[in-house]
Chains A and B, each alone.
Chain A
């Protein structure tokens, strides 16, 4: 069973993602985090599978998206990551390219095509 982890400090966005995923595919398990640190400790400590995908926001307090990605890389977590942001800053996009497990860069809001793309890759 496929699993999507949504990490964003904005609870509304997390709800939106959860509902959008549910609408597209009821069989996908969605886990949402508003605190990236909790998400990080979970993904680092769990057994890694081939079913999990991460939807990650960039601008977050305490730990931002980049720090989360570094944390993952440092702990050899190789879940594919899709950046989901409302940022239009071009440097964000170029920064994302430095991490090889970042698969794509989505602009908010998440739409059905995005979900299909995420699910098809996994």
Chain B
């Protein structure tokens, strides 16, 4: 109940440090006594001049006893400590016992005269030398026994030792009182030696340590229970001991000094005693009453809240579905409401796993989530579907509250729920109604827009309807005709239908129908059948869609069937490839469309709608001219729009269409006529998206053109090289035949020889050039390193120093940091820059040459532009051959027409491009893009 307000006092009394302190006090006293013996200090031995001295053996025993208790009550509890304590206590018990026995046998064992034997003899009290008093021996026996028992019974409720301690306590108190009141009998037994004052004090302290350190058991617990009784006792006890002692002392003092004499003193003492006790009792009673009142108030309010709780419980029981669940998910208790709704009895439910009462469908994840939530101590709330004993489904809005123990671990759960089945049912009904409405709308749209329209307009579109309940297929007239069943009133079973399907396609058809049932969406497919009446193999295009009840079970499967044998045969005739044929059958990317005689679409499948990104409702507004690319409109009309005047030929053609977003797609169409009474009434077509194929074709064509260009370029290169090689050879040939001619004089001959030499040198130079060109064309990757553009330009400036200073040329460079350093082939970059910059100086105009070198990085490409203010090049005239081999555009400066050719092949070898802009007499700009 209420926590005692004597809290602080108790904490001192029950504090181990306090006992340790007391033990040390005892040890201190006895050490001083021994010191007194050793140094002959009387006050330490006797305390009071006339009192007996404490025997040194007694002092040693007390030190052992105090040390034993010190160990036992110390903060650190060790097994070795209690063993030492036990040993010391047994020693004390033995010494006490030996002394007692020697007293009875009237002998001197000498056990109490071991220490300071010579000094003991001079300490004469009552005619005897100092020895241990029998009272002391009894005290040691009881203290020793108490300590031994305390240590042995420390883990049990046995508290007999407390009585031994109490005995020692009384012995100590008695001796103290004896000394205070000077009553010899209290400290001196018969003719034996008296007990010393500090011996009594030490016994009293030791007994207190034993008693106070064991307040949890025995009679001590009555003093230290947190109950009102114990509090009262604790309060009064101290006064009950101290007040009489104090009053008695006062009386004796008064008597001795002659203030109050004899009986009057006793009477006054008793009166004061009574008064003091009355006051104490009155205070205590007041406090007790206060406590009582507050306790009663607490009880009152508790009772009230208990009532409230039970009222709430009642109210909850009446309104909610309540389940108690233990930590093993076992139902421990349910309320009446739950029994009622679940139709189980309380006995049937308790002891079972709470999952058992839940509906097994689709609930596992919810229950797992619930369990993981509540077992982590968090309240869970959600809707759970249940199944009652007789299988009824009901919904409960459930809140599961975990109850936590002091470690915050749940120890039980209470589930509170409300029946929300009605609401759920309504919701479900609305959902089903909505779905049905949707389906109805779709179905009516289908039946009216598609089926009816189709069947009326095109004679050969059949419809069928499979009823899952009767396991029968209802077919339209046209469907019977398509499948070649002559008896139009015969109802067909699915097995009979599958028998009509070509055996190679049966599996595929079943897969497709299953897909339609599982995906709950429209599925279309092509398959072959063996027509029943004539045994012909026909190609059928089918579409199927199921509708479902509210539990998701299919009710009916609707379908259309269309004989597309003629369309397919086009494909078959045109492309004999069996693979392509198979692909067609399986490829659901193919669109299928039926046009009337004016080219208006009367039927289109999903793939067709997807192909042109239109929705079914918009099909009425669809016009082929919206999608067919203009260049194909004419051809499209001829191929696609047919009426009864046209012949029913089949054919295949490709055309381009433009989708809504402007995206081009290529369509391969396999077109055939729809026949009605032997006349063409429209067309039907299977359309394949061949954009990808076209793209590949285009890509291929591009590559082919590129390759052709390369070959041409190579041939050109060959001609040029052979031509230029032939020039010096021809010269040498001609000159050498000239030398041989008799009509030539010596001077001319020498001139001819000089020319031969020149031609030979030129040839050598050509071969070198050729070598360089070919080396550039071969591998370059091994030579890549980090290059610094600005550094390269500076190097070129140094190389061209002579030309630059002669012409006063200015070279500016604006190279961004990112474009300055990149990986490339250094020799190529140097050569490229050298050629262009030296050309810029070489082909300068009259003005001071200004050359600007710019470079910047854009993405992964370095853009370099080198512009000059030189003569410029007539690009109209020379543009094609600017970068050609051995092309020259100026006569008055030297050059052999290799520089720009080399520049181009170096740029190309680096994977880059080079372009030139030039205005005659104004300047030239070279633009180089290099990937990095």
Give residues in A with beta carbon < 8 Å to B: 9-10, 12-13, 15-16, 19-20, 23, 34-35, 37, 59, 61-62, 85-89, 107-111
Could you tell me the distance between the alpha carbons of A59 and B741 in the complex, rounded to whole angstroms?
A: 29
Chain B residue contacts of A15, Cβ below 8 A: 751, 755
Of all chain B residues, the one with the shortest Cβ separation from A91 is B719
Could you tell me the distance between the alpha carbons of A20 and B897 in the complex, rounded to whole angstroms?
A: 29
Chain B residue contacts of A85, Cβ below 8 A: 723
List 12 A-B pairs, Cβ < 8 Å.
A16-B734, A16-B755, A59-B886, A61-B890, A62-B888, A62-B890, A85-B723, A86-B724, A86-B729, A89-B719, A107-B730, A109-B735
B891 engages A108 (CB within 8 Å): no
Chain B, interface residues (CB within 8 Å), range: 20 to 34
Over the window 714-749 of chain B, the binary record of Cβ atoms lying under 8 Å from chain A Cβ atoms (1 yes, 0 no) is: 000001001110111111011101100101100010
Q: Please pick, from B723, B748, B759, the residue contacting A59 in the complex, using a CB distance under 8 A.
A: B723
Of all chain B residues, the one with the shortest Cβ separation from A34 is B891
B731 engages A19 (CB within 8 Å): no
Could you tell me the distance between the alpha carbons of A37 and B897 in the complex, rounded to whole angstroms?
A: 19
Chain A residue contacts of B728, Cβ below 8 A: 12
B723 engages A12 (CB within 8 Å): no
A16 engages B738 (CB within 8 Å): yes
B744 engages A19 (CB within 8 Å): yes
Chain A residue contacts of B744, Cβ below 8 A: 19, 23
Report the minimal beta-carbon distance from A91 to chain B, rounded to whole angstroms: 9
Of all chain A residues, the one with the shortest Cβ separation from B878 is A62
B755 engages A108 (CB within 8 Å): no
| B758 at interface, CB cutoff 8 A | yes
Take A61-B888, A61-B897 as given contacts and tell me if A16 and B735 are in contact as well, using a CB distance cutoff of 8 Å.
Answer: yes
A109 engages B897 (CB within 8 Å): no
Take A16-B734, A61-B891, A61-B897 as given contacts and tell me if A108 and B743 are in contact as well, using a CB distance cutoff of 8 Å.
Answer: no
Of all chain A residues, the one with the shortest Cβ separation from B897 is A61
Take A23-B738, A111-B734 as given contacts and tell me if A86 and B727 are in contact as well, using a CB distance cutoff of 8 Å.
Answer: yes
Give residues in B with beta carbon < 8 Å to A: 719, 722-724, 726-731, 733-735, 737-738, 741, 743-744, 748, 751-752, 755, 758-759, 886-891, 897
Chain B residue contacts of A89, Cβ below 8 A: 719, 723
Chain A residue contacts of B759, Cβ below 8 A: 12
B731 engages A88 (CB within 8 Å): no
B738 engages A13 (CB within 8 Å): no
Chain B residue contacts of A88, Cβ below 8 A: 719, 722-723, 726
Chain A residue contacts of B722, Cβ below 8 A: 88
Report the minimal beta-carbon distance from A13 to chain B, rounded to whole angstroms: 6
| Listed residue (A23, A35, A86, A87) with the most chain B CB atoms within 10 angstroms of its CB | A86
A62 engages B738 (CB within 8 Å): no
Q: Please pick, from B724, B730, B891, the residue contacting A109 in the complex, using a CB distance under 8 A.
A: B730
Q: Please pick, from B730, B737, B751, the residue contacting A86 in the complex, using a CB distance under 8 A.
A: B730
Take A19-B744, A89-B723 as given contacts and tell me if A13 and B887 are in contact as well, using a CB distance cutoff of 8 Å.
Answer: no
A87 engages B738 (CB within 8 Å): no
Of all chain A residues, the one with the shortest Cβ separation from B895 is A61
Could you tell me the distance between the alpha carbons of A33 and B891 in the complex, rounded to whole angstroms?
A: 12
Q: Please pick, from A87, A110, A111, the residue contacting B719 in the complex, using a CB distance under 8 A.
A: A87
Of all chain B residues, the one with the shortest Cβ separation from A63 is B891
Of all chain B residues, the one with the shortest Cβ separation from A16 is B734
Could you tell me the distance between the alpha carbons of A37 and B724 in the complex, rounded to whole angstroms?
A: 22
A108 engages B730 (CB within 8 Å): yes
Report the minimal beta-carbon distance from B712 to chain A, rounded to whole angstroms: 11
Chain B residue contacts of A10, Cβ below 8 A: 727, 731
Top 10 A-B residue pairs of the complex, sorted by shortest distance between their CB atoms: A109-B734, A108-B730, A61-B888, A86-B726, A89-B719, A109-B730, A16-B734, A87-B723, A86-B727, A12-B731
B889 engages A23 (CB within 8 Å): no
Chain B residue contacts of A110, Cβ below 8 A: 734
Report the minimal beta-carbon distance from A19 to chain B, rounded to whole angstroms: 5
Chain B residue contacts of A109, Cβ below 8 A: 730-731, 733-735, 737
Could you tell me the distance between the alpha carbons of A115 and B741 in the complex, rounded to whole angstroms?
A: 15
Could you tell me the distance between the alpha carbons of A61 and B874 in the complex, rounded to whole angstroms?
A: 13
Report the minimal beta-carbon distance from B758 to chain A, rounded to whole angstroms: 6
Could you tell me the distance between the alpha carbons of A109 and B730 in the complex, rounded to whole angstroms?
A: 5
Could you tell me the distance between the alpha carbons of A23 and B886 in the complex, rounded to whole angstroms?
A: 33
Of all chain A residues, the one with the shortest Cβ separation from B888 is A61
Chain A residue contacts of B719, Cβ below 8 A: 87-89
With A59-B723, A111-B734 already in contact, 18 other A-B pairs whose C-beta atoms are closer than 8 Å: A12-B731, A16-B738, A19-B738, A19-B752, A20-B734, A23-B743, A23-B744, A61-B887, A61-B888, A61-B889, A61-B890, A62-B891, A86-B724, A87-B723, A89-B723, A108-B727, A109-B730, A109-B733
Take A23-B741, A87-B719, A88-B722 as given contacts and tell me if A13 and B890 are in contact as well, using a CB distance cutoff of 8 Å.
Answer: no
B758 engages A12 (CB within 8 Å): yes
B755 engages A12 (CB within 8 Å): yes
Of all chain A residues, the one with the shortest Cβ separation from B729 is A86
Of all chain B residues, the one with the shortest Cβ separation from A110 is B734
Chain B residue contacts of A12, Cβ below 8 A: 728, 731, 735, 755, 758-759
Could you tell me the distance between the alpha carbons of A87 and B723 in the complex, rounded to whole angstroms?
A: 5
Chain A residue contacts of B890, Cβ below 8 A: 61-62
Q: Please pick, from B730, B752, B897, the residue contacting A13 in the complex, using a CB distance under 8 A.
A: B730
B748 engages A16 (CB within 8 Å): no
Could you tell me the distance between the alpha carbons of A15 and B739 in the complex, rounded to whole angstroms?
A: 13
Chain B residue contacts of A111, Cβ below 8 A: 734, 737
Report the minimal beta-carbon distance from B879 to chain A, rounded to whole angstroms: 15
| Listed residue (B724, B730, B733) with the most chain A CB atoms within 10 angstroms of its CB | B730
Chain B residue contacts of A107, Cβ below 8 A: 730
Chain B residue contacts of A59, Cβ below 8 A: 723, 886
Of all chain A residues, the one with the shortest Cβ separation from B728 is A12
Could you tell me the distance between the alpha carbons of A16 and B727 in the complex, rounded to whole angstroms?
A: 12
Could you tell me the distance between the alpha carbons of A93 and B183 in the complex, rounded to whole angstroms?
A: 162
Could you tell me the distance between the alpha carbons of A108 and B737 in the complex, rounded to whole angstroms?
A: 13
Could you tell me the distance between the alpha carbons of A20 and B744 in the complex, rounded to whole angstroms?
A: 10
Of all chain B residues, the one with the shortest Cβ separation from A35 is B891
Could you tell me the distance between the alpha carbons of A12 and B736 in the complex, rounded to whole angstroms?
A: 13
Of all chain A residues, the one with the shortest Cβ separation from B756 is A12
Report the minimal beta-carbon distance from B889 to chain A, rounded to whole angstroms: 6
Of all chain B residues, the one with the shortest Cβ separation from A38 is B891
Of all chain A residues, the one with the shortest Cβ separation from B732 is A109
Chain B residue contacts of A16, Cβ below 8 A: 731, 734-735, 738, 755
Chain A residue contacts of B751, Cβ below 8 A: 15
| Listed residue (B727, B735, B888, B897) with the most chain A CB atoms within 10 angstroms of its CB | B727
Could you tell me the distance between the alpha carbons of A111 and B735 in the complex, rounded to whole angstroms?
A: 10
Report the minimal beta-carbon distance from A43 to chain B, rounded to whole angstroms: 18
Report the minimal beta-carbon distance from B473 to chain A, rounded to whole angstroms: 75
Could you tell me the distance between the alpha carbons of A94 and B890 in the complex, rounded to whole angstroms?
A: 28
Report the minimal beta-carbon distance from A38 to chain B, rounded to whole angstroms: 9
Could you tell me the distance between the alpha carbons of A15 and B753 in the complex, rounded to whole angstroms?
A: 12
Could you tell me the distance between the alpha carbons of A12 and B727 in the complex, rounded to whole angstroms?
A: 10
Of all chain A residues, the one with the shortest Cβ separation from B731 is A12
Chain B residue contacts of A61, Cβ below 8 A: 887-891, 897
Report the minimal beta-carbon distance from A95 to chain B, rounded to whole angstroms: 13
Could you tell me the distance between the alpha carbons of A120 and B727 in the complex, rounded to whole angstroms?
A: 26
Chain B residue contacts of A108, Cβ below 8 A: 726-727, 730-731, 734
Of all chain A residues, the one with the shortest Cβ separation from B726 is A86
B889 engages A62 (CB within 8 Å): yes
Could you tell me the distance between the alpha carbons of A15 and B756 in the complex, rounded to whole angstroms?
A: 11
A19 engages B748 (CB within 8 Å): yes
Chain B residue contacts of A62, Cβ below 8 A: 888-891
Report the minimal beta-carbon distance from A87 to chain B, rounded to whole angstroms: 5
